[in-house]
Structure 1
Amino acid sequence: MFLNDTLALWSASIAPVMPPPLLATVAAEYAPIVLSGVLLTLVAIFIASKIGSEVAKRLDFPPVLGELVAGVIVGISALHLVIFPEGGLAATDSLLMNALQLLNNLSPTAIEAVFESQSEVISVLAELGVIILLFEIGLESDLRQLKAVGIQAVVVACVGVAVPFIAGTAGLMAIFHVAAIPAIFAGAALTATSIGITSKVLSELGQLKSTEGQIIVGAAVIDDVLGIIVLAVVASLAKTGEIDIANVIYLIVSATVFLIGSILLGGIFNQAFTAIVEKLETRGNVIIPAFVFAFFMAFLGNAIHLEAILGAFAAGLVLDESDARNELDELIKPIADVFVPIFFVTVGARADLGVLNPTVPENRAGLLIAVFLVAVAVVGKLVTGWGVFGKPGINRWAIGVGMIPRGEVGLVFAGIGSASGILSKPLQVSIIIMVILTTFLAPPFLRVAFGQTDKTIDPVESTSD
């Protein structure tokens, strides 16, 4: 989710106007209160996620949609139980922080520091959640089948980046007379795909190993890599007015080497993993080495300025072919059940539905632009299904719908653009609306798209196409 790279760029762009950090002076003194805030927030997240997923299941919707909606309810749009300091929010906006302040008689400065620290911890836990999710998705994927649809996935990803970017940028400049650099930034926000949301829905629908599911997952991974490159380009353009060619080339080469290298060396990794598991005799002999490998691969992805989730996904793909794969599948589920909901609830919690209020004057211009961006965002990804070739009878609608959700990735684009001063308020609002709608519309429509398939494609059959 672009976390380290984007936060670094974001911090660099707003550093001159940020106040001195408070955490260094008061966080240690109030560490027990920070822990209390984290624990209360996790209680709210887990209750919300479970209620949301259960309600969604009973209404015959994907449970992940219930977790997203539950996040909206406990987040900035409604109850203010789970909120974050991004966007100018303060501790006084949080009901949990107000309660902690009253219970512990904290000063305004101290509670702000507690709020910052608590938010950082929850954000890190959410990142761990999506890393674990992508590791689990990698384990559930079939590497042989993913290789079989590799070319189709590349084409789908390239179409899914190029079409919305070109259409969005050109449309903003021609129709709404937006300046070139803000239009390019907004167009870049349209290129993102939230692999976490889509892959979770595919898994819940039992379509992850279908041909369509494998194309979507493969394309979303490639789309993530392309998104990092696009972000690097627009961020450098925003800061200097020029594109850093050397950095773009580095990202392309490192991403290619990392992904292909991980797959090619999979046999060696598997042999080492199996040998270690056979020698260990205490509890955790399978799950601990697996997570060591997954987290190390995630670290490598981060270290070369890609994404941690790409490393975790690659680790899952590699271990999918190990002898302990079936046991590992069962062991990872309870861990994912704890961490993954944190990610989905926080995504919903960050979505401010207040930007949809037309009675606020500054939202009105953004709403008009948002209609255009949502249309481009949906159509620009739907057409990706027609980029698939050599697969007769493929469900092209399902592939297109699976690429639609922008999720937290789109919010990162909006945040960086806002912090750097590139995006006007109406343009920022329109991007946020686009992210919200594509994130929440995709899960139910993905279900409908697969429901229109005459027959579920057998993974064994699809590998032989």
Structure 2
Amino acid sequence: MIDISSCSSLMNYGSGYLSPIHPVWPTLLAEVDEAEAGPLILASVLLSLITVYIAAKVGGEVCARINLPSVLGELVGGVIVGVSALHLIVFPEGGEIGSTLMNFIQMVGGLDGEGVRTVFQGESEAISVLAELGVIILLFEIGLESDLEELIRVGPQAAIVAIVGVVVPFAAGTAGLIALFGIGTIPAVFAGAALTATSIGITAKVLAELQRLSSKEGQIIIGAAVLDDVLGIIVLAVVASLAKTGEIEITNVAFLIGGAAVFLIGSIFLGRLLSPVFVTLVDQQKTRGDLIITSLVFAFSLAFIAAAIQLEAILGAFAAGLILAETSKRKELEEVITPVADILVPVFFVTVGARTDISVLNPLDPANREGLIIATFLVVIAIIGKTITGFVIFGQPDVNRLAIGFGMIPRGEVGLVFAGVGSASGVLSESLDAAIIVMVIITTFIAPPLLRMVFKDPVDGDGQLESAKQPMVDSSSQADLSVAQTSEAPEGT
């Protein structure tokens, strides 16, 4: 990054070893241009990742010890290191021009304001990309752990859950904002649309931790959440078009609907036909990483296609997981993808928490009060509108309906996308924007403990209920005790 003459002068300086805070560094680094900021961007990314992993691990461990899902701890850890508290992990779209870590980098590197801005932008983009890769890997892993046949079997129920979970919150939220608060039609429609979202990443992670992902409830929730993502993309496109032009572009909506249907059905159909080719290709390779690299190429390819046709990349990754789960490499692939997920997935959850500004929950600030009142209404609609989805299931008398409803509650990063698009469009007032953010925060944080509460029976490593196994253990113990007592009884009794 520095030319040879600079390197020579550095090597000749003093004893030949220069620490990062050596006095010569500020002079040199203040002169670097944008192309030469690479080492400092890398340094700041590494420092950010250290912060992310510590926050994720500490938060996850604390929650695990109090019988809460570790993903909740990762979210809380993100809030603590993010814009709401320590300002260690922040992003430019939040209005920040730097972070506490950037202040340290500036001190170490002796950068001026423009240099800090360049490094901060590069670091933020890198962390954001890693977070996006994290959620792609998470959905790929969830697809691997899902049962395609079961998803198809519960498809009608999942479709009803998804449709009700979109229509009810949207209609109730929009009508209520107009009737009760006198909010304009377009802002009310935008806020109502934010209520339709479901964060498949958060719910799927909790279900995986509870070992309920392959349960009937888990498959219905995942299927409905995937459809919710598709419907959410369509709703977002509609309201974004409405905000920009005041009218809905029917052709754009039709393209999204058709593209989603063709992509999901076509990718799964073709993937199942080509899966033997995948297995043969893996078996013929002689180098390290044959299975994981080939699988990631396949997953990233479908994710790219989904993103290219204006769908979510995570839908492509999920479809790839479903397809590869049907091959003979499923168990082996689950084992090799786990370390990759352990590295990238926490980045996603911590950044979701870091982007969340909980200062909007402060009722002592007069500017927040109107937003909190509206937020209370939105939270009620958000929770009820998704909870009732579990009670529209038909033909499943033994299904845990509350679990399905609670699993659809978290808005997470999807809700933040709605809020961000609405804020950028300028159609949302400050109070309504704050209310949407509060709704996203509360629904994101209450869903994991609610799911833990309704799934009361612990599950062992084989996915079997401990309560179902316990009587067998007890009866066996009693039988052994009876035999022992018989053998020890005196003769003649």
Q: Common fold, TM-score beyond 0.5? A: yes
TM-fit CA distance, 1:85: 1.1
Distance 1:186 1:368 in 2: 14
Kindly provide the CA deviation profile for residues 292-341 of structure 1, in whole angstroms up to 9, marking residues without a partner as x.
00000100100111010000000000000111111101000001000000
Contact 2:174/2:192 (<8 A) preserved: yes
Counterpart secondary structure, 2:290: coil
Q: Corresponding residue for 2:9?
A: none
Q: Corresponding residue for 2:154?
A: 149
Unaligned runs of 5+ in 1: 1-24, 460-465
Counterpart secondary structure, 1:451: coil
Structure 1 segment 14-53 matched on structure 2, within 5 A? 26-53=33-60
Q: Corresponding residue for 1:62?
A: 69
Structure 1 segment 58-457 matched on structure 2, within 5 A? 58-91=65-98, 94-451=99-456
Kindly provide the CA deviation profile for residues 58-94 of structure 1, in whole angstroms up to 9, marking residues without a partner as x.
1111111111111111111111111111121111xx1
Larger Rg: 2
Distance 1:282 1:457 in 2: 34
Counterpart secondary structure, 1:28: helix
Q: Alpha carbons of 1:38 and 1:233: their partners in 2 closer, same or farther (altered >3 Å)? A: same
TM-fit CA distance, 1:347: 0.5
Counterpart secondary structure, 1:393: coil
TM-fit CA distance, 1:266: 2.8
TM-fit CA distance, 1:358: 1.4
Distance 1:437 1:144 in 2: 34
Counterpart secondary structure, 1:227: helix
Q: Which has the higher contact order (CA 8 A, sep 6+)?
A: 1
TM-score, structure 1 as length reference: 0.91
TM-fit CA distance, 1:111: 0.5
Kindly provide the CA deviation profile for residues 249-308 of structure 1, in whole angstroms up to 9, marking residues without a partner as x.
000000001111122223222111111011101111111110000000100100111010
Comparing 179-188 with 73-82, greater Cα deviation is found at: 73-82
Q: Which consecutive aligned stretches of 4+ in structure 1 deviate over 2 angstroms post-superposition?
A: 452-459
TM-fit CA distance, 1:454: 12
Q: Alpha carbons of 1:406 and 1:99: their partners in 2 closer, same or farther (altered >3 Å)? A: same
TM-fit CA distance, 1:27: 3.1
Distance 2:92 2:376 in 1: 28
Distance 2:152 2:211 in 1: 20
Distance 1:26 1:46 in 2: 31
Distance 2:237 2:373 in 1: 28
Distance 2:35 2:161 in 1: 49
Contact 1:298/1:308 (<8 A) preserved: yes
Contact 2:94/2:355 (<8 A) preserved: no
TM-score, structure 2 as length reference: 0.86
Contact 1:26/1:113 (<8 A) preserved: no
Counterpart secondary structure, 2:289: coil
Counterpart secondary structure, 1:206: coil
Comparing 264-273 with 130-139, greater Cα deviation is found at: 264-273
